[in-house]
């Protein structure tokens, strides 16, 4: 029997590698995720793992994607390079375009990943440096607006809080928006809403962790014990203070 290798970085679901597959706690919306991954395997091959079913222990089975996942905070600056951001935006656009107008999106603009972060992204070496190639952990995927994923990525691929540069956050937001809009023809993102969406997401994140910990959910308890609630709430307060600077650097179209 192939040995199981515990993969690092997971706070919520236990994830192990078995040969060329990954086994993990199945999401509550397993049917939706399985259908979505099947759709992406056809429309955007390689941008997400393939769903292979459930194993004998009821774990979700996915294909393993070779590469590097930056599960440690800021372990290598090249994960956050401008080239990586531009490639990231193109990947998000490809997923959105593949789902827009389809049954999975329902009446929404598209299907959103809703948890885009470096820890959920596979990188590989290229002549331009480390570049993202695929997204992991589709547990929160659901119908939504394009701006939601772009906003979520904007604050996860940047630094916020004391010591961070708000002008640099705005510049990175602009780069993501520019690359997303250029990835395919279509209406531009509503950039004037970007910071409002970011602030809603940041507040929703720390409140969600706090509420989950109060409900005694193990993953949320670990996150709160690690200081996530205070840390993310501090990001929200910092962004509110520096919003004018960020907006100036971002610009609006």
Left, alpha or beta for 191 (phi > 0: left; psi -120 to 50: alpha)? Answer: alpha
Name which CATH class applies to 77-250: alpha beta
| Model pLDDT for residues 84-96, shown as the tens digit of each residue | 999 999 999 999 9
Write down the mean pLDDT value for the chain.
91
Residue 183: the pLDDT is 63
Tell me the average pLDDT across 65-82.
83
Residue 253: the pLDDT is 46
Residue 148: the pLDDT is 97
Alpha-carbon distance of 131 to 112, in angstroms, equals 21
Residue 73: the pLDDT is 56
Between these two residues, 73 and 215, which has the higher pLDDT value? 215
Q: How would residue 128 be classed by pLDDT, with cut points 50, 70 and 90? A: confident
| End-to-end C-alpha distance for the chain, whole angstroms | 57
Between these two residues, 253 and 176, which has the higher pLDDT value? 176
Judge whether 204 and 115 are in contact, CB under 8 Å. Answer: no
């Amino acid at each position: 029997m192939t040995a199981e290798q515990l993969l690092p970085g997971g706070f919520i679901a236990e994830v192990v590698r078995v040969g060329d597959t990954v086994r993990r706690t199945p999401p509550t919306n397993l049917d939706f995720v399985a259908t979505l991954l099947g759709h992406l395997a056809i429309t955007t091959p390689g941008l997400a793992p393939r769903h292979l079913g459930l194993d004998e222990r009821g774990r979700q089975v996915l294909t393993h994607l070779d590469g590097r996942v930056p599960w440690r905070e800021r372990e290598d600056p090249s994960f956050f390079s401008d080239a990586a951001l531009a490639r990231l935006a193109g990947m998000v656009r490809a997923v959105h375009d593949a789902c827009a107008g389809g049954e999975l999106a329902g009446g929404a603009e598209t299907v959103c990943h809703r948890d885009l972060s470096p820890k959920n992204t596979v990188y590989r070496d290229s002549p331009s440096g480390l570049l993202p190639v695929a997204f992991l952990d589709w547990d929160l995927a659901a119908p939504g607006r394009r701006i939601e994923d772009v906003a979520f990525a904007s604050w996860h691929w940047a630094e916020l809080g004391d010591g961070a540069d708000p002008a640099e956050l705005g510049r990175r937001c602009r780069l993501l928006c520019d690359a997303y809009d250029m990835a395919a023809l279509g209406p531009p993102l509503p950039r004037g809403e970007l910071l409002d969406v970011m602030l809603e997401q940041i507040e929703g994140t720390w409140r969600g962790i706090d509420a989950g910990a109060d409900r005694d959910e193990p993953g949320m308890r670990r996150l709160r014990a690690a200081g996530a609630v205070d840390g993310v709430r501090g990001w929200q307060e910092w962004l509110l203070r520096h919003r004018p600077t960020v907006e100036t650097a971002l610009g609006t179209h």
